[in-house]
Amino acid sequence: METHGFMSGVNNILEWISRLALLNILWIGFSLLGFIVLGFYPATVAMYAVVRRWAMGDFEASVFSVFWSSYKSEFVKSNMFGAVISLIGIILFIDFLFLKQASTMVQNLLNVPFLIISLIFICTLLYVFPMYVHFNMKTLDILKNSFFVMIMNPFKTLIMLISSLGLVILLSFAPPLMIVCSGNVLALVMSKPAMNVFNKVNKKHESVTVHQ
């Protein structure tokens, strides 16, 4: 019985490793299929759709089927969504380049506000993809609600941010691992805590509605 239990545990671990590896390979492959520019956001949304199923306890669904279905159905919408995020990122990058070339007086005046805005943007991004796949919302509503959720849950946001940065740093020491272990692990780190926050906010909203 002990041997059977041990082998069952090993089998489960190997099965999860293969699922995670497949998901990451699909994410990279379908990002490249859209020449990255058109493929990255649909592939990322599809990856989060798979992870969402896992976070909700559905471990039997086919990774490829869920991924491909989401990739196809969300291709246009996710690229429009991604265009808005990219535009904000480009504006912040241009601001960064401007500050690098600016005078010391301007840098002293604008560095702190720029860092605060950039941090708010990065922290908001922690919630946008989990929210995209969990709710049926328009792009601006996703960004707005992600921002409010981030503001209302600073501790959880900080944990998600530190965990994500830690994973990125660890993976940077072993680049070959990124083929099978990069976006998928980050999605796992973000999705479950984000969904817990969403459920908490929904319960609070329902409680307030009932009392009204």
pLDDT in tens, 99-153: 999 998 999 999 999 999 999 999 999 999 999 999 999 999 999 999 999 999 9
Angle made by CA atoms 33, 35, 38, in degrees to the nearest 5 = 95
Dist CA 79 CA 81 (whole Å): 5
Q: Which residues of the chain have pLDDT under 70?
A: 1-6, 204-212
Instruction: Please state, in angstroms and as integers, the Cα–Cα distance from residue 174 to each residue in 17, 164, 171, 179, 183, following that order.
Output: 17, 16, 5, 10, 14
Q: What's the pLDDT at 111?
A: 94
Q: What's the pLDDT at 25?
A: 95
Dist CA 40 CA 175 (whole Å): 19
Q: What is the pTM of this model?
A: 0.89
Q: What's the pLDDT at 3?
A: 46
Q: What is the separation, in whole angstroms, between the first and last Cα of the chain? A: 56
38 φ, ψ (degrees, to nearest 5)? -100, -10
Task: Take residue 48 and report the two structure tokens written for it.
Answer: 């989060």
Instruction: Please state, in angstroms and as integers, the Cα–Cα distance from residue 205 to each residue in 124, 129, 209, following that order.
Output: 21, 22, 6
Task: Take residue 134 and report the two structure tokens written for it.
Answer: 């969990």
Q: What's the pLDDT at 65?
A: 96
Q: What's the pLDDT at 178?
A: 84
Q: What's the pLDDT at 199?
A: 84
